Amino acid sequence: MGVGLLLMWQGLVSLFRIPVFILPGPLAVLDALWQDRTLLLNGLLFTLKVTCLAFFAAVLIGVAVSFVLSQSRFLENSMMPYMVVLQVTPVVAIAPLVIIWISNTFVALVVIATITALFPIISNTTLGLRSVPANLLSLFKIYRASSMQTLLRLRAKAALPYFFAGARVSSGLALIGAVVAEFVAGTGGAQSGLAYVILESGVQLKVPRMFAALFLISLTGILLFVLMSLLSGRALGAWHESAVSVEH
């Protein structure tokens, strides 16, 4: 289907002789990928650096917060509404404030992307820490396991499927947050990612380069999702029903 859509796209562009500054064909985009490979690669590496750092920060902060919230229902009910407010607030609305408050542009970009990616980790992991079969909790109580032993040996393992489900979403949100933050910052030079490449290409009417940058962003998001799916399968494949293959 993908090959067919690309062929149809190229055919329509050639048939109606659409200018490349309005809608470039796949061949023009491919040519831009090659001609501007150095610029696009540098932008990709910068965006990927921001995305990865933000995702790792979201995982560390999200898991730590989830462990705290899972210990007290009162604390969870008190804090979760503020987490929801942070999630539903458009990142483009708070990005300018973060960039003003933090003088280091790169750190500001990472913070914005981290905020964007944080909520799925917290909500899913907290739910997983509470989704423990009652009979297993009773078994741990019979053997007089401490709260820390129950948390690490039972609740944490039960939360892994939920954590990876949140991580798959969070990895894509980290990329979105990084791109949006770059759009708002609008910085060039060494600290410029694919978003700045898109902005610059739009001003210069180099639309094929814009499409090439969009293609790299989409490809990066797909690869991050696939990577998290592979990690999830490796971690859960030996024991959890969602990853164990069942032969009929």
The 3 state secondary structure assigned to the chain is: CHHHHHHHHHHHHHHCCCCCCCCCCHHHHHHHHHHCHHHHHHHHHHHHHHHHHHHHHHHHHHHHHHHHHCCCHHHHHHHHHHHHHHHHCCHHHHHHHHHHHCCCHHHHHHHHHHHHHHHHHHHHHHHHHHCCCHHHHHHHHHCCCCHHHHHHHHHHHHHHHHHHHHHHHHHHHHHHHHHHHHHHHCCCCCCCCHHHHHHHHHHCCCHHHHHHHHHHHHHHHHHHHHHHHHHHHHHHCCCCCCCCCCCC
Confidence grade of residue 241 (pLDDT, cut at 50, 70, 90): low
pTM of the model: 0.88
Confidence grade of residue 112 (pLDDT, cut at 50, 70, 90): very high
| 233-240: average pLDDT | 75
pLDDT reported for residue 246: 47
pLDDT per residue as tens digits for the range 30-72: 999 999 999 999 999 999 999 999 999 999 999 999 989 888 8
131 pLDDT higher than 50: yes
Q: Which residue shows structure tokens 């797909």?
A: 222
Q: Which residue shows structure tokens 């902060």?
A: 61
Could you tell me the domains of the chain? 48-186+220-234 (1.10.3720.10)
Side-chain half-sphere exposure of 13, counting CA atoms within 13 A: 18
85 pLDDT higher than 50: yes
